């Protein structure tokens, strides 16, 4: 039944499963946790969501309303986009599952409605999940069967990853308190290293599915003329701005211009509005915009109504933007993974190579751009820093555990050590 539903989905679209989708579909019945890594635009999200949704549609729970599939995204923009995509999958599979989003943008009224009538599929962020587990909303999560971790390279790194690791352990504890098996974890990323360590972070028994990139990214430097090795600020407006405007005008579709800071995104969007024809739609996108403004820009992007969007890294992660035809990156990215994620926004669909043009801002930046392109072509992706043993994380995790219900010190310690980031916690650490 599950296989038939998934096959019908592909038949309706006139598509065939991609390599990563075939690999995940083959591994899915084994029931293990998965770490799936494959190039951007290869269909990773559908690879895990289609069988999860089809199984839930084919075998609906007999009782106990609540969230069954929990989808964690690193940023609200991705959560919002994927909410629409997952809802479309449900409809195409012929199901009637409720799909909802819960982030910092969700109103109190919407949260109350979700508690009253929980969705079967909930898309959220790590921080919102931690808040949910700390309050009455956790009653929705008593029977979660699967947790999807999208863009794992942004979820697992640093202190945020350490906190998420403890949050996932708390979720396991909460589900176990209601006599249900621990949720299955399925993690996705196009740019994540080292695979063995990340797989262990996902779950001690996680299976790695790594699909190589058959269509290497097309990366090049668009080198504007420089009068000096380190041009002043006026040079950017005098030389780089007209060059970008010409590239935008020559592109049939949307151009994404990535810049390194929110203030720069605002400045460049205003400047491009000044020099481009009035009929061209120009927008700015970053994490400090209001929910309404982010939604408006995302809607116009999907509709193909914008010729250029100046964005920060908030649009680098796996947001599906089919109207985007060109990606420009102003200044050398500080990581290979950042470049590959940005390049993956161009023609984001299976079989199409990622593309990006880097615009250096000084002679030294030319060298940096060349270095990051060389590293990307050689598959040299930076290793994530996975933190362990942070006592401030342990404090928050202990408080989170006691919010679920009372526990002995030993029970708290055992629960904390179930998290990858606190597995080495000693009795002395716990006492401290």
**DSSP states along 125-186:** -HHHHHHHHTSGGGGGGTT--EEEE-SHHHHSSHHHHHHHHHHHHHHHHHHHTTT-PPPEEE
Residue 393 tokens read as: 């994380």
What pLDDT is stored for residue 319 in this prediction? 56
Whole-structure pTM value = 0.88
Q: 69: closest CA among 88, 50, 87, 52?
A: 52
What pLDDT is stored for residue 173 in this prediction? 95
Q: State mean pLDDT over 379-390.
A: 89
**Lowest-confidence region among 109-123, 276-290, 347-361:** 347-361
Given a cut of 90, whether residue 161 has pLDDT beyond it is: yes
Is residue 194 reached through a cis peptide bond, with omega within 30 degrees of 0 on the bond before it?
Answer: yes
DSSP 8-state secondary structure symbol assigned to residue 380:
-
The residue behind tokens 């504007």 is 224
> 159 with 127: CB under 8 angstroms?
no
Instruction: Express each pLDDT in 198-254 by its tens digit.
Output: 999 999 999 999 998 777 889 999 988 998 999 988 999 999 999 999 999 999 999
> Which helix (H) or strand (E) is 146 found in, with range?
strand 146-149
Q: 338: closest CA among 125, 85, 47, 40?
A: 40
Given a cut of 70, whether residue 256 has pLDDT beyond it is: yes
Residue 241 tokens read as: 């701005």
What pLDDT is stored for residue 296 in this prediction? 86
Mean pLDDT of the chain: 90
Residue 165 tokens read as: 């690791």
Instruction: Express each pLDDT in 65-84 by its tens digit.
Output: 799 999 999 877 666 778 88
Given a cut of 80, whether residue 291 has pLDDT beyond it is: no
Given a cut of 80, whether residue 41 has pLDDT beyond it is: no
Given a cut of 70, whether residue 39 has pLDDT beyond it is: yes
The residue behind tokens 């499963």 is 17
Nearest-10 Cα torsion for 170, 175, 176, 181: -120
Q: State mean pLDDT over 55-73.
A: 88
Q: List CB contacts of 300: < 8 A, sequence separation 6 or more.
A: 281, 283, 306
Residue 52 tokens read as: 């999860």
Residue 57 tokens read as: 């549609």
Nearest-angstrom CA–CA distance, 75 and 82 = 11
């Amino acid at each position: 039944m599950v296989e038939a539903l998934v096959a019908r989905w592909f038949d309706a679209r006139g598509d065939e499963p991609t390599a990563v989708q075939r690999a995940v579909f083959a591994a899915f019945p084994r029931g293990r946790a998965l770490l799936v890594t494959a190039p951007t635009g290869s269909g990773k999200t559908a690879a895990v969501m289609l069988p999860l949704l089809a199984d839930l549609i084919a075998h609906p729970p007999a009782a106990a309303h609540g969230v069954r599939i929990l989808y964690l995204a690193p940023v609200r923009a991705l959560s919002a986009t994927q909410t629409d995509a997952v809802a479309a999958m449900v409809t195409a599979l012929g199901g009637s599952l409720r799909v909802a989003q819960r982030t910092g943008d969700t109103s109190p009224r919407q949260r109350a409605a979700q508690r009253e009538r929980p969705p079967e599929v909930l898309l959220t962020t790590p921080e919102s999940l931690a808040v949910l587990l700390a309050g009455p909303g956790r009653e929705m999560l008593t029977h979660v069967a699967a947790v999807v971790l999208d863009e794992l390279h942004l979820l697992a790194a640093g202190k945020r990853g350490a906190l998420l690791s403890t949050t996932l352990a708390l979720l396991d504890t909460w589900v176990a308190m209601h006599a249900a098996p621990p949720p299955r974890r399925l993690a996705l990323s196009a740019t994540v290293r080292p695979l063995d360590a990340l797989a262990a972070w996902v779950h001690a028994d996680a299976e790695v599915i790594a699909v190589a990139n058959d269509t290497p990214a097309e990366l090049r430097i668009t080198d504007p003329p420089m009068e000096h090795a380190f041009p002043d600020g006026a040079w950017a407006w005098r030389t780089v701005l007209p060059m970008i405007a010409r590239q935008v005008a020559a592109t049939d579709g949307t151009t994404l211009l990535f810049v390194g800071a929110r203030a720069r995104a605002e400045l460049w969007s205003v400047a491009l509005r000044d020099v481009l024809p009035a009929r061209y739609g120009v927008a700015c996108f970053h994490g400090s915009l209001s929910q309404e403004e982010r939604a408006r820009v995302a809607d116009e992007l999907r509709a193909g109504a914008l010729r250029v969007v100046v964005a920060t890294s908030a649009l680098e992660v796996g947001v599906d933007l089919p109207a985007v035809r060109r990606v420009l990156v102003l200044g050398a990215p500080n990581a290979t993974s950042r470049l590959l994620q940005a390049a993956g926004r161009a023609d984001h669909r299976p079989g199409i190579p990622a593309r990006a043009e880097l615009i250096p801002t000084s002679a030294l930046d030319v060298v940096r751009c060349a270095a990051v392109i060389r590293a990307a072509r050689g598959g040299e992706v930076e290793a994530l820093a996975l933190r362990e043993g942070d006592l401030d994380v342990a404090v928050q995790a202990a408080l989170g555990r006691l919010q679920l219900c009372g526990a002995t010190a030993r029970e708290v310690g055992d629960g904390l050590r179930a998290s990858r980031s606190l597995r080495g916690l000693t009795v002395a650490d716990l006492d401290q």
